[in-house]
Structure 1
Amino acid sequence: MAVCVAVIARDNYPLYIRTAEPDHELKFHYIAHTSLDVIEEKLATLTKTTSDMRELYLGILYPTEDYKVYGYVTNTKIKFVVVVDASGINYRDTEMRAIFRKLHHAYSDVISNPFYTPETTITSP
């Protein structure tokens, strides 16, 4: 089960962070922020090895004792971070790719809204 979902702008500030555990929200902000370093490292190695960026899914960024952190980057450098409970179900890469595709589609729907101002915090009732 995903315990945190974060959408991070290309300038590395959060556009949207939602946690399943409101009491530990600060901890998940920290996890999402520290995952940016790993994302930047993976993007640097990807651009050195390949010229095109077709593979947006970065896979597992790092595991902790309690959580596994997965990452995804769009072509416009918007980053998605999903934190999953490590003691629960072990997710395969195909399942995580499907989750990120759905998140990317939902983000595209938000951006397509004519009343949304780009690069501002995403709010949802």
Structure 2
Amino acid sequence: MAVCIAVIGKDNSPKFLSCLDPDAELQFHYRVHTSLDVVEEKLSAAGKGGGDVRELYLGLLYSTEEHKIFGYVTNTKIKFIIVVESSNTLLRDNEVRMMFRKLHTLYTDVVCNPFYIPGDPITSKHFDKAVANIMAGNM
């Protein structure tokens, strides 16, 4: 389903990035960081326009010929980015929301671990395996 999933901290530093193709990881780092500008625009527009502040799902941030990039922001300003292939026309908006909800739950489990230091990169093997399951479509 997804080709890349990233968790970005509130200071826009990467906390976790996983890709199906490890050779293209640098390319996905670039795509994820360029999407952060769109995330900031959507957050500031929602704040000014009186939109629903509780809505965490930002939807499609932008698309290229190869990929579609979706965004989600938690209440603590942690950003989740999911990159899917543009050729995947079977993926519905509802399924993307479910992937973000699952990712948010996994992230909450990591942060609640007493041995995790907030702000550090995520190195949990359980989190990595669960993200790989999300990317494979096994939610």
TM category, shorter: over 0.9
Instruction: Give the match's secondary structure for 1:114.
Output: coil
How many Å apart are 1:51 and its aligned residue? 6.5
**Identity of matched residues, %:** 58
Query: Structure 1 regions of 5+ residues with no counterpart?
Result: none
Q: Aligned partners of 1:14, 1:4: CA distance in 2, in Å?
A: 13
How many Å apart are 1:3 and its aligned residue? 0.5
Instruction: Give the match's secondary structure for 2:58.
Output: strand
Q: Aligned partners of 2:107, 2:95: CA distance in 1, in Å?
A: 18
Query: Structure 2 regions of 5+ residues with no counterpart?
Result: 126-139
Letter in structure 1 aligned against 2:102:
K
1:56-113 CA deviation, whole Å, 9 max, x = no partner?
Answer: 0000000100000000000100000000011123422211111100000000000000
Aligned to 2:39: 39
Aligned to 1:65: 65
Q: Aligned partners of 1:55, 1:21: CA distance in 2, in Å?
A: 31
Q: Aligned partners of 1:90, 1:46: CA distance in 2, in Å?
A: 29
TM-score by length of 1: 0.96
TM-score by length of 2: 0.87
Superposed, which structure 2 residues align to 1:1-125 within 5 Å? 1-50=1-50, 53-125=53-125
* 8 Å contact from structure 2 (residues 2, 83) kept in 1: yes
* 8 Å contact from structure 2 (residues 110, 124) kept in 1: no
**What count of residue pairs does the alignment treat as equivalent?**
125
